[in-house]
Chains A and B, each alone.
Chain A
Amino acid sequence: MQRASEPASAGGADAFAADLLRGHTDTIVLGVLRARDRYGFEIYKAIRDATGGDYEIKEATLYAAYRRLVKDGLVEAYWGDESQGGRRKYYRITDAGRAVYRRNVDAWVVTRSTIDSLLDLKGSR
């Protein structure tokens, strides 16, 4: 993941944020798929738009994530029936994927408040 407009080496803060995001790629993809089935470019765009266009998860990272999710049964892949252009490969979240998503989100909420208090964030900003 890197800043869309400038090189990744622009600043330590960027690298920190990018690392944080990248560490949650699988959960982010599961979250994007929760509402409906999507194909690669839709997922990529949803993530890019959600970060306000500041970051984009590298496509290689995403393709590896899809692969991993399919292998673990958290996501199912199927080819769309587009008649022209390339055929799109859609991804659908499974019940297992929803369970893992829920669990990861719970873990994130707990961790977030732990980190917040460790960084002494509340009040002393």
Chain B
Amino acid sequence: MTNISVHRLLDDAFAGIAVTPDVQDLKEEIRANLLDRVAELTAAGVAPDDAAQRAVDELGDVRALVTDATADGGTLAPATPTAAVSNAAAAAAGQRVPVQRRYMLGMIAAVVVLLLAVLPIVSVIALLAGEADALYLPAAAALFLAGPAVGWIVGASLERETPARYGMPRRRALAYGAATAVLVTGVVAGVEAGLLIGRPFSALAVGVPLLVAGGAWLAYLLATQTNRRKPWLLELEREHARAADRFEREPETAARFGIYTVVIWGVTAAAFLAVGSTVGWLWALLPVLLGVATFMLVLARMLFGRPVHGGEQRVRPVP
């Protein structure tokens, strides 16, 4: 049996290597690839057992492979923070991306178009209410410039590389821009038909389909969005995640925090009722405010304060 000998050989190759989740993950990945390689060799006429042996041999030194593939401070290994990313400001400065002239000019043009789209209708409504029938139609038509303008701003901004993020591929950025333009145009059409012209039905007929189409398109794009963050930002986020999981690492801190929470909110509730029923309910908001402030201070202290297992142990004198 081909499969059995592959699995056995794989187990042999991994014998003596400490099984961490990372290593287990790698082993399963290698297993599927080995099976395919064996199938390929067998199809080429190699005897099944020989094929298995050859496929495993081709892996080379598995111990070195595991070291190479897992010892780079991957997501699961507790890596020490690298100096490069310990200081977010320094990291961002090292990634400075010059703003393109084309982007600047386009942005200014888009904002001007947006103002041209919105200002006429606003001024017509605000200044000439009732007697502006002649100006009304062009102003209402101009409002439709808003969709393309907003769409351009969205698309161009997404395509642009920033210190923290890579630029989005052009076609995808274009799709985001177009979807936003459709969505905004739907809103414009709906608002105009419904409120300004006073025909709610045409608002439904024109606005809602555009709104739904644009919304669905955006939802699809957002759901299929992949990572754009740069490595230094990812590393920074991993560091923050390590800092914030203190409650998982120190259950006793979490337990103390739970007790404090109950006490703080119990006292706050009592003070709220007492002040409210005697002085007045408006004044009762004061104890609530104090309660929130205390709670936040305690939370910050618990999460980022000195670790319990830190170097110095504070010993309190017994009274």
8 Å CB contact of A63 from B40, B68, B226: B68
Chain A interfacial residues counted at CB < 8 A = 35
Whether the pair A73, B28 counts as a contact (CB closer than 8 A) is no
8 Å CB contact of B35 from A66, A86, A95: A86
* With A64-B69, A89-B28: A94-B234 Cβ-Cβ less than 8 Å: no
Whether the pair B234, A95 counts as a contact (CB closer than 8 A) is no
Q: A98-120 toward B: CB 8 Å interface, digit per residue (1/0)?
A: 11100000000000000000000
Chain B interfacial residues counted at CB < 8 A = 42
Say yes or no for A76: interface residue by CB 8 A criterion. yes
Whether the pair A68, B28 counts as a contact (CB closer than 8 A) is no
| CB-CB contacts below 8 Å: B72-86 with A | 72-75
Assembled-state Cα–Cα distance A95/B32 (Å): 27
Whether the pair A67, B70 counts as a contact (CB closer than 8 A) is yes
Q: Which residues of chain B are near A73, meaning CB under 8 Å? A: 227, 229-231, 234
Assembled-state Cα–Cα distance A47/B74 (Å): 25
Main secondary structure of the interface of B (DSSP, over half): helix
Say yes or no for B278: interface residue by CB 8 A criterion. no
Assembled-state Cα–Cα distance A95/B25 (Å): 25
Whether the pair B32, A40 counts as a contact (CB closer than 8 A) is yes
CB < 8 Å A-B pair total: 110
Say yes or no for B246: interface residue by CB 8 A criterion. no
Whether the pair B226, A76 counts as a contact (CB closer than 8 A) is yes
Main secondary structure of the interface of A (DSSP, over half): helix
Say yes or no for B225: interface residue by CB 8 A criterion. yes
Assembled-state Cα–Cα distance A86/B58 (Å): 18
Say yes or no for B59: interface residue by CB 8 A criterion. yes
Whether the pair A64, B72 counts as a contact (CB closer than 8 A) is yes
Assembled-state Cα–Cα distance A8/B271 (Å): 81
8 Å CB contact of B72 from A68, A87, A89, A96: A68
Whether the pair B65, A95 counts as a contact (CB closer than 8 A) is no
Stretch at the interface among B98-106, B165-173, B189-197, B303-311: B165-173
| CB-CB contacts below 8 Å: B20-39 with A | 25-26, 28-37
Beyond the given pairs A59-B58, A64-B65, A67-B69, 4 more chain A to chain B contacts, judged by CB atoms under 8 angstroms and listed by A's residue number, are A59-B33, A59-B65, A63-B68, A94-B228
Q: Which residues from chain B sit less than 8 Å from chain A, CB to CB? A: 3, 25-26, 28-37, 40, 58-61, 64-65, 68-70, 72-75, 161, 165-169, 172, 225-231, 234
